[in-house]
Structure 1
Amino acid sequence: MDKKTRNKHPSLPVPGSSNKVPNAPLHEEVGEPPKRSWRNRCCRYMYDRNTKKFCGRTCKSWLYILVYTVMYLIFLSTYTLIFLYGSLLVIKYLDAYQMVEKTDLLTYAADGIGLSATPTSLNAMPLIWYRNEQQEYQKYVKSLESLLSKRRKREVDSFPDLGPCGEAPFGYGNSPCVIIRINKQLKWSAKPLNANSSRMDIPMNVRHWLKLEKQRLWLHCDGYHSYDKEHIGKIKYYPDPPGFDPNSFPLDKNSHSPLIAVQISEFTLGVSLAVQCKLYYEGGSSTKEFLLYVTPKRK
């Protein structure tokens, strides 16, 4: 190849020029492409402008998922309600089913049926606390009136004789009354004590009542401690002696538990008294405790 031809070859430098080729690209180092930050990747995953996808799915795909989820929840809820309704029907027909009033489902003793005392449920604690003045104990009078008015509407002929505890002011304030009843519980019944019972926890009054011709579930009230017994004064019952007819139990949904009124008198004023009422029957007993605190009138 002659000199002229060699100079015309495009790959050869022009004579008189430098070894550097004009407009030649600069040398670039070969390496990994620049990495995107985690924020960019997260934003791109949440919404990709190129593909117009949210979290890797199109709007149409997310709409299908939402519709199927709502349909599944509706189906699951309907199936659950049908199953529960069918289960309740089976229980109703296979077992003796009765309605129980909420007011009768109060406290239950650990060793037997529960007892309720009115008006002690007005407070968070079973407490009767008032000054011996009419405006102070009016709330207790209203509570007893409410209880007895509901009973008299249904039991006009068979309402028990509660003496002074059967009408306002129910002995408040010198001799307050408390009405005791057995809480309504499904299928509960009890046998009366035997007159020859060897139980050591039976008071003398109850042993005397056991000798009567009628058999009852006997109720006995007294001070909780020896100090309370010293200051509690006298206790009267209406009816007297205080017994529940065992043939009244178990109760049905339309009947009410019998009532026994307990009237406390001649107690010491200004002293907090713990009172315990205990129901005795064969094979167990039930108790109800409450506090009585009455202060003298203002001078």
Structure 2
Amino acid sequence: MAKDGEKSGWKEYIWNPRTREFLGRTASSWGLILLFYLVFYIFLAGLFTLTMYVMLQTLDDHKPTWQDRLATPGMVIRPKTDETYEIVYNVEKTESWDMYTQALDNLLSPYNNSVQAEKNNDCVPDQYFLQEDSGDVKNNPKRSCQFNRTMLELCSGIRDHYYGYQDGKPCIIIKLNRVIGMLPSKDGHAPFVTCGAKKEDSDKIGELLYFPPNGTFNLMYYPYYGKKAQVNYSQPLVAIKFLNITANQDVNIECRINANNIPIGSDRDKFSGRVSFKLRINTID
């Protein structure tokens, strides 16, 4: 009997025909509580939408409102086919260096003179290409200066389609990371790149050639205004050609940026204003 009573009690809790209650509430009670939660969640959604709208009004589509700008921008090298900063190949084995030349072809194809002439300006060198806004009137889209592939001369891949890899005189391309609004020098002195071997390999690196001359990042490519504001921006490059590096040995190399208003990076951040990599050119199996 107790079991029948318990069963009857559960049935009445779910639906009580005498009081016409479902799960302990009448229809009007369920209607009121559902109405309360409906109004409550509509209010929360409206408050969230209003908050997002107000916040978005403070943002600029073309420029970050806040920037955690590094005092010293990072540097990278190309070609780079994996996560390691190592370029190792055998002069006699085309398949060992073909991936490097393909990577450089892909990097430099947007820098073809015809492409640059179509998209970008022929700017005045050795001075910043400033394009300020006029109050609330945005000067967008902003123009960009041409960086022609031919400026890399022996490392352009035009005369030598293999960038020197086939004869043990490879080219390496250096890029300085983009930083919005950065003016990388003062007093008209353009930043430039220098490369050298680590102390233990100082007698192995041999002679270097820099393109453009002196390995400079010309001032006309700065400041950078951002991907949306400067859609055709062509990042300046510096190429280093190794003329007679010691073969069949690891040579550890470091390249760094030199500028009178960019501080030297710390040992705690190896990509702060410099980049290190290993170069090994084998001539024997």
TM bucket by the smaller chain?
A: 0.5 to 0.7
Q: CA deviation at 1:292?
A: 1.4
Alignment of 1:16-27 (within 5 A): none
Q: Which has the higher contact order (CA 8 A, sep 6+)?
A: 2
Tell me the residue number matched to 1:238: 211
C-alpha contact 1:52 1:58 (8 A) present in aligned 2: no
Partners of 1:228 and 1:239 lie apart in 2 by: 26
Tell me the residue number matched to 1:178: 172
Tell me the residue number matched to 1:155: 116
Runs of 5+ unmatched residues, structure 1: 1-33, 37-42, 99-107, 195-213
What's the RMSD between the two structures over aligned residues? 3.8
Partners of 2:107 and 2:173 lie apart in 1 by: 9
Distance 1:154 1:68, change over 3 A: farther
Partners of 2:86 and 2:31 lie apart in 1 by: 62
Paired residue type of 1:183: N
Alignment of 1:110-259 (within 5 A): 111-120=71-80, 122-132=81-91, 133-152=93-112, 154-156=115-117, 158=146, 159=148, 160-167=150-157, 168-173=161-166, 174-192=168-186, 215-223=189-197, 225-252=198-225, 253-254=230-231, 255-259=233-237
Instruction: Kindly name which structure, 1 or 2, has the bigger radius of gyration based on alpha carbons.
Output: 1
C-alpha contact 1:109 1:287 (8 A) present in aligned 2: no
Distance 1:83 1:127, change over 3 A: farther
Is 1:52 aligned to 2:45, yes or no?
A: no
> Identity, % of aligned pairs?
19
Q: Cα deviations across residues 16-45 of structure 1 (Å, max 9, x unaligned)?
A: xxxxxxxxxxxxxxxxxx9x9xxxxxx99x
C-alpha contact 1:272 1:292 (8 A) present in aligned 2: yes
Paired residue type of 1:287: R
Partners of 1:271 and 1:66 lie apart in 2 by: 77
Tell me the residue number matched to 1:84: 52
Tell me the residue number matched to 2:238: 260
Alignment partner of 2:109: what SS? helix
Partners of 2:171 and 2:251 lie apart in 1 by: 14
Runs of 4+ in 1 over 4 A off after TM superposition: 56-79, 108-111
Q: CA deviation at 1:189?
A: 0.8
Q: CA deviation at 1:293?
A: 2.4
Alignment of 1:36-75 (within 5 A): 48-52=10-14
Q: Output the TM-score relative to the length of structure 2.
A: 0.64
Distance 1:65 1:149, change over 3 A: farther
State the number of aligned residues: 223
Q: Output the TM-score relative to the length of structure 1.
A: 0.61
Alignment partner of 1:178: what SS? strand
Partners of 1:165 and 1:66 lie apart in 2 by: 72
Tell me the residue number matched to 1:282: 260
Q: Cα deviations across residues 186-245 of structure 1 (Å, max 9, x unaligned)?
A: 1111225x7xxxxxxxxxxxxxxxxxxx7321211111x222222112211112221122
Distance 1:216 1:71, change over 3 A: same
Alignment partner of 2:84: what SS? coil
Runs of 5+ unmatched residues, structure 2: 16-22, 123-145, 265-272
Alignment partner of 1:162: what SS? helix
C-alpha contact 1:115 1:181 (8 A) present in aligned 2: yes
